[in-house]
Structures are given as C-alpha cells and as structure tokens.
Amino acid sequence: MVVIMKPGTKQEDIQALADKFRGMGLDVGITNGIGCSILGLVGDTISLDIDKISMEPNVERVMRVQEPYKKANRKFHPEDTVVTVGDVKIGGGNFAVIAGPCSVESEAQICEVAEDVKRSGAKLLRGGAFKPRTSPYSFQGMGTPGLDLLVEARAKTGLPIVTEIMDPRMADLFEREVDVVQVGARNMQNFELLKEVGKMSKPILLKRGLSNTYEEWIMSAEYIMAEGNENVILCERGVRTFESFTRNTLDISAVPAIRQMSHLPIVIDPSHAAGMYWMVEPLALAATAIGCDGLIIEVHNDPPHAKCDGQQSLTPAKFDALMQKVTSLRQWLTQQA
C-alpha cells in the first residue's frame, strides 16, 4: 500500500503516521520527493481501511499496490534512484560506462586495459576473477589472485572495480575489496546469494537471467532490497530466444519497461547480448539513444588470445571510437530534451 502525503506536511507529522503504521506490525519506507512524501507500507495490509486512512488530515491519497515487489516499485519511490560509487553516479540522468576484460588474466593485461578505458572515458573497471562457465573445462578465472590484480589496477587508475560474486561465503571478501558486486545472469535466482549480498553495503549490479521476465528480475532485486541494501543496478544482457545468429537477443524494450515498473537504474551489456565484437557498437548506441543509465562493455588488449569471450571484446582503439560516438549522441540527446 502507498500513502501519499499532502504537499508541505511536516516531517514530524509524517513520522507520527509512520509510527502508527509500524504499531500495526507493518514495515514503513518513507520517500521524501519533490513536493510530497510517500509512505510505502509492506506487510499484511489487507485489513487496512483505505477510507479511514484517507481521512487522516495530512493524507492526499491512498493506493493499493498489486505487484508482488514493493521496495523496487516505482509507486513506492516515484523518483529515480541514483547509485553512487565513489565520485560516479548512475541513474537519475547520470550515465556511466563500465569497461574492461571478461576475465583478469595477468597484471600487465588488467592494468593496461584499465589505463586505456579510463583514458577513453570509462568510469568503472570490470573484470572477472571468478567466472561461471557452461563447460567445466573452460577457463574459470584466476580466483582471489585475479581479485588482487583488480585491486592493483584500481590503485593505479582510481577506477572503482566491478566483479562477479558466485559464492555467498565470499561476501566478506567482496565487502572489503570490491566497489560494485555483480550478480551474474546464472545466479539471478540464487536466492541465498541474493540474501547475502543484500546484507552488504556495496552497490549490487544484478544481471537479468537468461530467460527471465521483467517481474522475476525485479523480484530478485526485491530479495536484495528486503535485506537492507537498496543500492541495486539492473543490467540487461540479452535473453535466450529462438534466434541463434547472436549469442543472446538484446531486449532493448527493457529500458522503457523497467522505467515504468521500477525506480532502479538500468544499464545495458551489449557485449554479452551480441557475442560478436562488430555488433557491440550499434547495440550500445541504440541503448544510449533509448535512455539507459549506462553501458558495460568488454575490452581486451589482445582479443584473439583472450582466455574467454575474445570474440565479443573490443580492442582499446575500437572502444575509444565507440566512446566518442556515445558522448556525441548523449550531447545531442541533451540538446533535444
């Protein structure tokens, strides 16, 4: 249930009403927006009388929320959430590019790529230390030594690091070392992992599962937020369809759909969607044009010899050219707004 307060209601009156609802055994989230405040009531609200609540002197309107997700629901939080990572902001009109190799392979490789993508305008560095692979015989990352190299690259460039967690038992390590914790597509419904990262203080990048609906995706974000961590970034990385030409099919309609359903920022991963480097640029530009909050792009200094996903990785030169086009497009879009 959502309770919209009248404009100008004093904070002490808002708190008093919130305490009243808490006394009924409900969890209450308060969103102070521009012009009004909203109380989001979570719990058994069936017995609550909407007419009686509407008679409260400071209540403007009361709505029941039918969707199963509450904290991630735009009705509970009309304004866009802005996730802050150091000096970088994502969401609410703030745009950021995350770039780096699929996996960390060596000190020279990750540091060289980090310096290259920063020079081109990337704001965060991605790199896999722990890699979920379809085949048990494929390279599965360097593990904790790879994480150490990411930390070293951050020290050299100042770029916050984004990397994937696969095991709830590693939450403490990621809490200490990582700036943005990625939950990959294959773990989108690993509910025990979602609960664990929900207890962390670091922002969570939640990738959409291979065949999951928008509601299932948002419900996974709800798992994280229900544990107390509301700094969630959604990532569309393509879904599995009947089409086999591309690795996945990029669902570009996810951007406006998620905007309607949720207040959480959404970034696009054209690299995993395409699976081919030459498709990354057009998909990235399309995602930018439709209004995503950022891009996550794979960049490798030697794609033909990459240990994983070299076929979808851009060289630093190609990434630099793409960044120039993305910057120009965003400037044009700003002028048209």
- Condensed to tens digits (0 to 9), the pLDDT of residues 101-139 reads 999 999 999 999 999 999 999 999 999 999 777 777 677
Average pLDDT of the chain to the nearest whole number: 94
- Residue type, position 229, single letter: N
pLDDT in tens, 26-79: 999 898 877 789 999 988 888 889 999 999 999 999 998 888 899 999 998 999
Closest CA to 273 of 264, 265, 284, 263: 284
Q: What percent of the chain has pLDDT over 90?
A: 87
Asked whether the predicted pLDDT for residue 140 surpasses 80, the reply is no
Domain map of the chain by residue range?
Answer: 2-63, 83-336
Going from the C-alpha of 180 to that of each of 68, 103, 115, 201, 283, the distances in angstroms are: 27, 16, 19, 10, 24
Higher-scoring residue by pLDDT: 76, 288: 288
User: In this predicted structure, which of 65-79, 156-170, 172-186, 244-258 has the lowest mean pLDDT?
Assistant: 65-79
Asked if the model's pLDDT at residue 337 lies above 80, the reply is no
Question: SS3 of 276, please?
Answer: coil
**Which pLDDT band, with edges at 50, 70 and 90, does 179 fall under?**
very high
Q: Is the pLDDT of residue 21 over 80?
A: yes
* pLDDT for position 43: 84
Fold for the domain defined by 2-63: Alpha-Beta Plaits (3.30.70)
Q: What pLDDT is attached to residue 276?
A: 96
Give the rounded percent of residues in the chain with a pLDDT score beyond 70. 100
Name the CA radius of gyration of the chain, rounded: 21
- In terms of CATH architecture, what is 83-336? Alpha-Beta Barrel (3.20)
Residues 86 and 159: their CA atoms lie apart, in Å, by: 9
- The C-alpha atoms of residue 325 and residue 328 are separated, in whole angstroms, by 5
What pLDDT digit, counting tens, does each position of 221-267 carry?
999 999 999 999 999 999 999 999 999 999 999 999 999 999 999 99
